[in-house]
Chain A
């Protein structure tokens, strides 16, 4: 039972354009959402998060949008850079414990 889904396993975007990574969830009890970035042979690193009481959070080139009615969130990267090429994981948290539920990841490739 995959409660957090990333339906696109891979995405290719040209340098300078916008990258949009999508994530859907099924559990309405999730109260916090996070995006992690993972390079090969390294652990995931935290990128940006959003509380369920907000619909947008921005940090530099990265913006996360949350649509609670659709149970959907997205990560926008503008402009995309070659160093953004990595696997991106969406994760969701419920308030009753400190554990996260992760999606399956989307591999982003930013081409020159």
Chain B
């Protein structure tokens, strides 16, 4: 079974802090993703990566950056946290498929509160 592990389930930080969210997958997947989930808005893609040191902006990248130094690890960075970044953050990974019929596998999420 694919295991996607997010380093923290709950995190509380202060406005202006630099925040790191870590994600590790154990199935040698090429693709990794960061989403945020907010009530009434569903899952929105922040950034994704299809290879080590490669990254692509998703739909809402503003205020975030990412790092992928190793294939199994994908980090989301909030450069200067703001209250509107309070949310549930979800990491996912998937294999590369011609038509991407390879489903994404998700971690259990990090609930981040910015005070």
> Is A75's beta carbon under 8 Å from chain B?
no
Residue total for A at the interface (Cβ-Cβ under 8 A): 27
Question: Complex formed: what's the CA distance from A103 to B40 in Å?
Answer: 9
Question: Complex formed: what's the CA distance from A100 to B100 in Å?
Answer: 9
Q: Is the CB of B96 within 8 A of A41?
A: no
- Across-interface contacts of B107 in A (CB, < 8 A): 43
> Is A42's beta carbon under 8 Å from chain B?
yes
Knowing A43-B90, A46-B105, A99-B45, the reply to whether A31 touches B33 (Cβ < 8 A) is: no
25 of the cross-chain contacts (CB-CB < 8 Å) are: A6-B42, A31-B99, A32-B99, A32-B101, A36-B106, A41-B9, A41-B109, A42-B108, A43-B4, A43-B92, A43-B106, A43-B109, A44-B106, A51-B101, A89-B42, A93-B99, A93-B100, A95-B98, A97-B56, A98-B96, A99-B48, A100-B100, A101-B45, A102-B43, A102-B44
* Chain A contacts to B: CB under 8 angstroms: 6, 9, 31-32, 34, 36, 41-46, 49, 51, 89, 91, 93, 95, 97-105
* Chain B contacts to A: CB under 8 angstroms: 4, 9, 31, 33, 35, 40-45, 48, 50, 56, 58, 90, 92, 94, 96-101, 103-109
